[in-house]
């Protein structure tokens, strides 16, 4: 950057520190222990490690008892706390939209001088790869097929009919649309704001500064970060377990059923072996860092997704796909409010959709939110609150509905107007093979099946990478950059935990881990809505203060600095007039 850029950065950084940062002598990681290539928080890292080790030991020792315990816990939490999950996520959506469209929408993450670290395309690629990739690959065909045969009681449709297909798409859109991204967006906004605007550690404890103050550096903060570590680890393990199950089945189906060339065994131990192999690949990527590994793989993911998506649109029932998208969106938007609050309590014909699917998803998104939210926060400096919310909430949600329409809609077409082979294979083999059975019904099924398998693998790697970076932040006192050894350590640990959960209870164990860790975290997120409001309101008051106005007046009189304001005259950017990277107003 030019010298004037440096001067602007120094002055505005100083302005941000002087007026916006809390009065505290503490710095991220200032009590850390550095040894053997690690830079660790003296409490969070060892305590988390001990509890994770105990969990692994108990799961192995209990054996079959662990699987039974996981099933009981999953059903108990769903039946008892399902209503709370549904109410909480609706609160998150309302809160996030309020922040975006209120006076706080023009506040810039990182302060008025902050510039975007990544292009819009790279930003979208990374947040989408971290947030949904493996799940969409796993459920985009199997979930609509399940509802087609077992229509959600909310819609009252008859199984196997066009009405059931419409209900299936609307229910699937509901699970993968605005609600999960609202959870991610709220967490990401809170983490980004308190880290970049307040100069606090990039950990979950920082969001509670308005309530705890300096106590975030004591045991209240330690407990918050520990809960966050567990939620992140088990939410991530759920996705990794689902992903490797699909990779295993996909390789077996493509190699054996479609090519007739090689029979690859399926089951727990082959999946554990695959986790080990893919985790080793992930360690190489995570060692390369955010720019060298995660960014490149995330971009590759997006290209592969578009290639697979475009291929099926062309060779599949194109008109039917887009008709499904339009009709599905209509059913989704028409029922989104009622679906968001539907618990099935008053519906005697409720068929378990809420507990088995919605509550699991909401618990999974909440457990997954520290991981996705912190990763989004890490890459979102320089964006306004409004830009952040619109980007995180709407674009990925709409793309998810398009993806679901292409794959789920094609599955509905095959079931209603085709040979029904995709549904038959799904019923015979299970949900992990659903996508590959569908692709087999179209030209070049082997090629598209291999691309789908590769895509799941790359999503596995980027999810592991991103999760490692996030847990590194949490266990290093909020430092933005941690040693490579530490990143590799957590990538290996994630693979180990996912393997243990598969051995100890299979898919049910993975789902139980997600909703169990999501439950206490949901309470934390509800309180977080209030602390983020306090932070944004304080920022707005400072931006409107006389002291800030006087400082801006002094800056405005300089020839090498541009001060940009929004319509309400609130300052949104300070930049060099010759700098093409200036972001300006919303």
CA 301 to the chain's CA centroid: 15
Residue with tokens 């990527």: 285
The two tokens of residue 364 are 């999974």
Report the candidate in 366, 364, 376 with the shortest Cα–Cα distance to residue 473. Answer: 376
Report the candidate in 138, 136, 118 with the shortest Cα–Cα distance to residue 294. Answer: 118
Question: Of 79-83, 187-191, 290-294, where does mean pLDDT reach its minimum?
Answer: 290-294
CA 29, CA 44: separation in Å to the nearest integer? 11
Mean pLDDT, rounded, for 278-293: 70
- Integer angstrom CA distances of residue 188 from 194, 436, 494: 10, 34, 22
- By CB atoms closer than 10 A (0-12, 13-18, 19+), residue 538 is middle
CA 376, CA 131: separation in Å to the nearest integer? 9
β-bridge partners, 38: 35
Report the candidate in 183, 204, 585, 193 with the shortest Cα–Cα distance to residue 393. Answer: 183
Residue with tokens 């190699």: 255
Higher pLDDT, 13 or 412: 412
Check whether 358 has a pLDDT greater than 70: yes
Mean pLDDT, rounded, for 138-152: 93
Contact 539, 107 (CB under 8 A): yes
Q: What mean pLDDT, rounded, does the chain reach?
A: 82
> Among the CATH numbers 3.30.590, 1.10.10, 1.20.1740, 1.10.3210, which is that of 16-544?
1.20.1740
Contact 183, 369 (CB under 8 A): yes
**In the prediction, which pLDDT does 320 show?**
96
User: Who's near 546: CB < 8 A, 6+ residues apart?
Assistant: none
Check whether 6 has a pLDDT greater than 60: no
- Integer angstrom CA distances of residue 108 from 125, 330, 492: 21, 34, 36
DSSP string, 267-291: SHHHHHHHHHHHHHHHHHHHHTHII
**In the prediction, which pLDDT does 518 show?**
79
Contact 444, 467 (CB under 8 A): no
**In the prediction, which pLDDT does 483 show?**
80
> How many Cα atoms occupy the beta-carbon half-sphere of 246 within 13 Å?
35
* pLDDT band at residue 498 using 50, 70 and 90 as cut-offs: confident
**In the prediction, which pLDDT does 309 show?**
92
Check whether 2 has a pLDDT greater than 50: no
**In the prediction, which pLDDT does 510 show?**
67
β-bridge partners, 574: 563
Question: What are 108-131's pLDDT values in tens digits?
Answer: 998 887 788 888 877 877 766 655
CA 127, CA 64: separation in Å to the nearest integer? 37
Mean pLDDT, rounded, for 554-581: 61
**In the prediction, which pLDDT does 441 show?**
93
β-bridge partners, 384: 108
Question: Of 48-62, 345-359, 404-418, where does mean pLDDT reach its minimum?
Answer: 345-359
CA 230, CA 470: separation in Å to the nearest integer? 12
* pLDDT band at residue 50 using 50, 70 and 90 as cut-offs: very high
Contact 480, 42 (CB under 8 A): no
Question: Of 182-186, 239-243, 287-291, 379-383, where does mean pLDDT reach its minimum?
Answer: 287-291
Q: How far apart are the first and last CA of the chain?
A: 24
Show the 3-state SS of 225-265: HHHHHHHHHHHHHHHHHHHHHHHHHHHHHHHHHHCCCCCCC
The two tokens of residue 455 are 């895509």
Highest mean predicted confidence (pLDDT) among 62-71, 83-92, 390-399 = 83-92
CA 36, CA 349: separation in Å to the nearest integer? 59
Mean pLDDT, rounded, for 409-419: 95
CA 365, CA 135: separation in Å to the nearest integer? 11
Contact 3, 450 (CB under 8 A): no
Report the b/e string of 451-477 with b at 16+ CB within 10 A: bbbbbbbbbbbbbbbbbbbbbbbbbbb
β-bridge partners, 573: 564
CA 478, CA 583: separation in Å to the nearest integer? 27
Torsion sign, CA atoms 402, 404, 409, 414: positive
Question: What are 465-482's pLDDT values in tens digits?
Answer: 777 777 888 888 888 677
**In the prediction, which pLDDT does 128 show?**
66
CA 48, CA 493: separation in Å to the nearest integer? 12
For the chain, the domains span 16-544, 553-578
SS3 percent helix, strand, coil of the chain, rounded to 5, is: 75, 5, 20
CA 568 to the chain's CA centroid: 34
Torsion sign, CA atoms 508, 514, 520, 525: negative
CB atoms within 10 A of CB 187: 31
CA 522, CA 527: separation in Å to the nearest integer? 9
Report the candidate in 498, 22, 347, 375 with the shortest Cα–Cα distance to residue 215. Answer: 22
CA 286, CA 467: separation in Å to the nearest integer? 10
Length of the chain: 586
Report the candidate in 435, 442, 436, 403 with the shortest Cα–Cα distance to residue 419. Answer: 442
CA 499, CA 201: separation in Å to the nearest integer? 31
* pLDDT band at residue 287 using 50, 70 and 90 as cut-offs: low
Question: Mapping DSSP to helix (H, G, I), strand (E, B) and coil, where does residue 443 land?
Answer: coil
Question: Of 216-220, 348-352, 391-395, 571-575, where does mean pLDDT reach its minimum?
Answer: 348-352
**In the prediction, which pLDDT does 559 show?**
54
Mean pLDDT, rounded, for 72-100: 89
- By CB atoms closer than 10 A (0-12, 13-18, 19+), residue 428 is exposed
For 430, list phi and psi in degrees, rounded to 5: 125, 175
User: Who's near 174: CB < 8 A, 6+ residues apart?
Assistant: 332, 335, 336, 339, 340, 358
Highest mean predicted confidence (pLDDT) among 377-381, 498-502, 550-554 = 377-381
Show the 3-state SS of 419-439: CCHHHHHHHHHCHHHHHHHHH
**In the prediction, which pLDDT does 208 show?**
94
């Amino acid at each position: 950057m030019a010298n004037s850029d440096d001067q602007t950065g120094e002055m505005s950084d100083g302005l941000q520190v002087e007026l916006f940062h809390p009065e505290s002598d503490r710095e991220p990681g200032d009590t850390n222990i550095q040894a053997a290539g690690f830079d660790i928080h003296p409490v969070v890292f060892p305590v988390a490690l001990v509890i994770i080790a105990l969990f692994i030991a108990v799961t192995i020792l209990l054996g079959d008892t662990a699987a039974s315990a996981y099933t009981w816990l999953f059903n108990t939490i769903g039946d008892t706390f399902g209503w709370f999950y549904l109410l909480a996520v609706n609160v998150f959506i309302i809160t996030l939209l309020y922040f975006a469209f209120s006076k706080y929408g023009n506040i810039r993450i990182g302060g008025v001088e902050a510039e975007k670290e990544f292009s819009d395309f790279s930003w979208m690629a990374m947040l989408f790869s971290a947030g949904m990739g493996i799940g969409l690959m796993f459920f985009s065909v199997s979930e609509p097929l399940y509802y087609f045969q077992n229509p959600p009681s909310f819609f009252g449709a008859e199984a196997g009919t066009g009405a059931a297909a419409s209900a299936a798409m609307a229910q699937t859109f509901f699970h993968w649309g605005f609600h999960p991204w609202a959870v991610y967006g709220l967490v990401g906004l809170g983490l980004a704001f308190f880290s970049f605007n307040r100069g606090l550690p990039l950990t979950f404890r920082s969001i509670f500064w308005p309530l705890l103050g300096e106590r975030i550096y004591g045991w209240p903060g330690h407990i918050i970060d520990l809960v966050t570590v567990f939620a992140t680890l088990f939410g991530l393990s759920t996705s990794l377990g689902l992903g490797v199950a699909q990779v295993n089945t996909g390789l077996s189906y493509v190699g054996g059923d479609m090519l007739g060339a090689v029979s690859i065994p399926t089951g727990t131990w082959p999946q554990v072996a695959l986790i080990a192999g893919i985790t080793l690949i992930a360690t190489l990527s995570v060692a390369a860092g955010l720019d060298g590994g995660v960014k490149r793989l995330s971009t590759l993911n997006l290209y592969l997704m578009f290639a697979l998506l475009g291929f099926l649109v062309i060779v599949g029932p194109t008109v039917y796909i887009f008709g499904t998208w339009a009709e599905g969106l209509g059913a989704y938007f028409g029922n989104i409010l009622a679906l968001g609050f539907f618990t099935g309590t008053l519906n005697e014909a409720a068929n378990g959709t809420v507990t088995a699917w919605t509550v699991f998803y909401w618990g999974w998104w909440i457990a997954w939110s520290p991981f996705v939210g912190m990763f989004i926060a890490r890459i979102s400096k320089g964006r306004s609150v409004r830009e952040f919310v619109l980007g995180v909430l709407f674009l990925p949600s709409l793309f998810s509905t398009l993806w679901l329409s292409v794959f789920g809609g094609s599955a509905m077409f095959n079931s209603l107007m085709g040979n029904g082979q995709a549904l038959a294979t799904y019923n015979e083999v299970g949900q992990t093979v659903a996508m590959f059975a569908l692709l087999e019904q179209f030209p070049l099924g082997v090629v598209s099946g291999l691309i789908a398998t590769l895509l799941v693998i790359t999503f596995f790697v980027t999810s592991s990478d991103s999760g490692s970076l996030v847990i590194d932040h949490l266990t290093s006192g909020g430092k933005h950059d941690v040693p490579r050894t530490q990143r590799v350590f957590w990538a290996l640990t994630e693979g180990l935990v996912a393997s243990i959960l598969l051995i100890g209870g299979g898919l049910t164990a993975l789902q139980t881990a997600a909703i169990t860790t999501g439950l206490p975290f949901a309470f934390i997120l509800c309180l977080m809505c209030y602390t983020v409001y306090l932070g944004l309101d304080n920022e707005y008051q400072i931006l409107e203060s006389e002291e800030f106005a006087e400082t801006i007046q002094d800056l405005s009189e300089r020839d090498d600095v541009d001060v940009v304001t929004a319509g309400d005259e609130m300052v949104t950017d300070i930049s060099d007039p010759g700098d093409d990277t200036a972001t300006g107003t919303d």
